[in-house]
Amino acid sequence: MEDTAELIIDKNTLLVSCENGVVVEIEAPEPGSYDTSKTYQITGLAMRTYTFKSIKSRLRREEEEARKAAEEELRKKEEEKQRRIRRERGIESDDEDNDDDNKGYDEKKVLELLGLTPSESESDKPLKQTINTDVDGKEEEPEPEPLFIPEDPSPIHYVCYSTKPDHFWLSVGGYDAGYLYECGFVTEAEREARIKAGQEDRIGDAKTAIPMFGTNDVPIRCIYYSPGRDQVLMGMEDGSIRIQMLEEDAEKKQLDINKLSQYWSLNMHDNNYGPLTGISSSYDNQFVLSVAADGNIFVYDLMSEEKIEEAKKIFRAKIPSARKGLEDERKVEDIEQKGFYSIEMEKQKAEHDKMMKEADEKKLTVRRTIAQLRRQFKKLLEKNKELPDHLQLERKEFEMDPEIKRELEKHKQDKIELVHRELAWESEKLQIALDKLKNRFRDELETDRIVIFSIKTPHKVASFRAAGLSEEFFKLKCQMENRRATILTDKGLSRDPTRELTGAAKKSDSFVEGGLQPGQQDMKKSTLLTGRAGEKVNKALQKVEKAKQKRAARQALWDALYTGKPPDDYEDPADVSAIKEAQENMGDYKLKTAKDYTVPEQLRMNAEKKRNQLLVLIEEIYRHKKSFNQRLIALRDKKINVIDEIQQYINELMEVQSKLSPNQRKHIPKCPELYPCEIPERQFQYTRDSLMKFKEDMQQRIIEEQAKAAGASGFGTGFGSGFSAPTQGGPPTEQRPDPSVMSVSPSVDKMKTNMSVGSTSASTSETEIELSPLELQMMKAEEIRLLYQQNRLLGKIDEKILYFDAELRILRHVKHKLEIDLKNADLRHVTLFEELQLLKEFEKRENVLADKVEGKNREKGDMQMKVMECQQKLDNKKKDIERLQEKEKTLCTQFQQSLGENNKFADFLTKVFKKKIKRAKKKAQTEEGSDEESEEESEEESDWSSEDEESDSEALDDSVCPPGCEQEMFDNVCAMREKRLDIEEAMADEKKLHDNMKKDSETLQKKAKIIDSNLRTAEADLEAFQVCKIYCHTVTHKVHFV
């Protein structure tokens, strides 16, 4: 944005540039013309817009045409110069100048006239080229390329007003960078003039474009005029500051940005990430500050002309002059090759090459000297050998001074130690790097990939390259177990709070109901009779008794059957429990998309349960892989033992065959061997010998590659190209060599050779010595024994190999099944992970609903506890009231008994007993806070008791015992009346408390109903959420399986 505050313009406007190439001029409102008490939004301001059009392609074409025109002008001048030279030498006349373009010439004749021979004409190639150009004429110029207009408009980085009215300067980025454009708002007159001239596409083009030389089309981000307005400071996008000098316009007599001359350039900010965002001077115009997007702020000392001259005098400083004549300079292309040396690097490389060359020459000189001395010493040794033995010198005598050798050895050891010390840091660094690599890639592996081959069959089986369980897994598992224990504890503690109360109530009810049963039946007494008649009577009675017992037993069975008959609404507890279990565990078999579907409790899943399932699945996969790898390692150990046993059998077999004739010997099988892929852990075990061997192999490989490279272009490449060097370390990891082509080991070949030699010697000895029949018979028996031993050893070898191959095939079959299960487990793992991601999205909402339901359940439990406690208190109050009523009845019964029968004062004493009198409250038993209540109660009592007193006071005076009545009886009746009044007062208090507790109980029951309603609503919301979650889960699985 740019305003007119600092410019001498008779208007108050704001100029805004946009990234889409649009410039907007907004007229500023007058102060106080808008009400800003409610909003700062201003509408209805006058504004003008200008859209920038790309003209860089046209400018470049015009520059190219100007350059070609200048070259054509130079060419014509050169032609004119050559013609003048030819005219001066008399080669052509002025009349022939016009005919040169249409006539040919003889080159040889022209050279002779010039006094040149064809061999001497090499230095005159420019002249010859010029003549050929004159003769051949001009070349046809190619058609110009079409103008390029970028699809996306270039962003405008900076805009400021020009000295011309309604004109402004633009700095544009993107494709149109590299120029400063002077543009203006299009008026109607200008638009009509363009349309009349047929230049509709030129409407809105920039008025002036100033090229910025030496910027490589880097856009200008900000512009700042110096205090004297004789310099312009430009902030570039590459982080550099360009100080451009301004020249005075002769017509306007003022400095104008159109007249740019020499400039300075300074790079301070980051070239890639530091485009300048602002340049300004200090309040005293002594310093310049620059701010860029790289976050840096730099302050520069703005030197005046006087300071520059003083600095030159004092410090003899050479301030570089501004660059001039940029228009005539040829643009130098940048070197974009990455491996190209800079000037400094080229110089350092040349010095280094010179030093290395001198060192190599010095080394070569020393080596030649040493080689010459060695040849001389070798000749001396040869001369010494040619002498007679008694004249020859020993080798020690050639040592001039043993101290020299010891000194050389010591010097060598010192150098070795120095090398060790120099390489200690590098060695430790490499060791640490190796340890890090092992820790990252090897230590976490429990079992590497082990491939075990069978001995005779082509079967093989490989282990699972399994990594151990991470620490994060064990942490999650520990958290899962702790959480499970916490859940079980919470379930044990979160029992029904009313269980104890209801259990106690049931126990008390059963105790009350379970009383003594009706009394037992009276035992009948049998009559004792004597004699024969008594026996008959006894037998008859026994028969009758047996019949009665049978009928009673039958009746008891019927009674038991009728007693066990359930009522019409009876439900078997076993069926009820089975139905309840089915409802809780079997689930609802409606469609999951049904509206009345209810998610069972055991099928409700959350992120925590799904995470636990993932952990269990990972642990199971790890356990199965580990179990199989242990079996495979055990099989490998068995193979090692089998190889050792077979080697022992082969040694015994060779001993046996050494005693047999060649035609009786059988083929000795090759001893199996372990391949590198069967023991991969040995690949990381090395010794110094193995390292030296590896070094030799690498050197040999380099030599072979160099030989192949050198012989690739030779004659003999066609021969031997079909052969390849054998690979070391056994067969490849996944391919086993054919066991049928295995060769016998060298020890076996040696033994066979020894046996053949022994047999030939035995045959020669047999021919020389004749054996007796007994010796022949013993030799035959020994031969049979050896043949049996040979067959037995071969059978044992075959048996060991056969059993091992069978176990390997069985393990291979087990692995195939296990791979299927593990692949299904991996798919299950992916499914569980997707489900976990889905459940995490629902977890927050589900936790809110679950917490709400749990809170409602707690409220319900607390409310049930309160209701039960209140109900229990009500029952206790009812019992207290009944107990007081029983006391009152007992007191009345005692009063009646105390009166006796035919007491003439019975009516008087009854009235005295039942009379209600006003009783004073005992202040000692009450607190200060209950004084008002006691006064209110006393007033109430006085109100209802005053009427009875007024009615009975005239006829009854209970304070005096009537004449003829016993004083003791009268006092006893008064005491009993006091007891009755105490009981009535206690009963009134208990009834009042009972009524209050009943009101509290009703209030609690209403609250309990409200809590139940809220709980059902929360459970319904949770159930609806569970159904929605199941639906989303089902849809996800459909997509997954599709």
pLDDT digits (tens, 9 = 90+) for 817-873: 999 999 999 998 898 888 888 888 887 887 888 888 888 888 888 888 888 888 888
pLDDT digits (tens, 9 = 90+) for 347-375: 888 899 999 999 999 999 999 999 999 99
* Range scoring the smallest mean pLDDT among 30-39, 326-335, 922-931, 995-1004: 922-931
Q: Which pLDDT value is given to residue 259?
A: 66
Q: Which pLDDT value is given to residue 760?
A: 44
User: What radius of gyration do the chain's Cα atoms show?
Assistant: 61
Side chain identity at residue 1041, one-letter code: F
Q: Look at residues 311, 106, 1027, 208 and name the one whose alpha carbon lies nearest to residue 603.
A: 1027
DSSP state of 923: G
pLDDT digits (tens, 9 = 90+) for 258-289: 667 677 788 888 888 888 888 888 877 788 88
**Between 105 and 975, residue with greater pLDDT:** 975
Q: Which pLDDT value is given to residue 359?
A: 93
Side chain identity at residue 389, one-letter code: D
Query: Average pLDDT, stretch 670-681?
Result: 88
Tokens matching residue 424: 């200690």
The residues near 281 (Cβ < 8 Å, ≥ 6 apart) are: 224, 226, 227, 287, 288, 289, 302
Q: Which pLDDT value is given to residue 460?
A: 92
Judge whether 1034 and 592 are in contact, CB under 8 Å.
yes
pLDDT digits (tens, 9 = 90+) for 442-500: 888 888 889 999 998 899 999 988 888 888 888 888 888 887 776 655 555 444 444 44
Judge whether 117 and 165 are in contact, CB under 8 Å.
no
Tokens matching residue 984: 């009535």
pLDDT band at 425; cut points 50, 70, 90: very high
Q: Look at residues 618, 625, 623 and name the one whose alpha carbon lies nearest to residue 473.
A: 618
Number of residues assigned to the chain: 1042
pLDDT digits (tens, 9 = 90+) for 387-418: 888 888 888 888 778 888 888 899 999 999 99
Q: Which pLDDT value is given to residue 78?
A: 86
Residue 657 has pLDDT above 80, yes or no: yes
Q: Look at residues 890, 887, 880 and name the one whose alpha carbon lies nearest to residue 990.
A: 880
Per-position DSSP letters for 600-632, written without gaps between them: -TTT---HHHHHHHHHHHHHHHHHHHHHHHHHH
Judge whether 276 and 221 are in contact, CB under 8 Å.
yes
Per-position DSSP letters for 389-448, written without gaps between them: GGGPPPTGGG-S-HHHHHHHHHHHHHHHHHHHHHHHHHHHHHHHHHHHHIIIIITTEEE-
Distance CA 400, CA 404 (A): 8
Q: For helices 773-899 and 967-1041, give the axis angle rounded to 10 degrees.
A: 150
Is-above-0.75 flag for pTM?
A: no
pLDDT digits (tens, 9 = 90+) for 160-204: 887 787 788 888 888 888 888 888 888 777 877 877 777 777 777
Q: Which long-range contacts (CB under 8 A, 24 or more apart) does 313-316 make?
A: none
For the chain, what is the mean pLDDT? 75
Residue 77 has pLDDT above 80, yes or no: yes
| 846 backbone φψ class: left, alpha, beta (φ>0; ψ -120 to 50) | alpha
Q: Which pLDDT value is given to residue 1032?
A: 73
Report the DSSP beta bridge partners of residue 266.
241
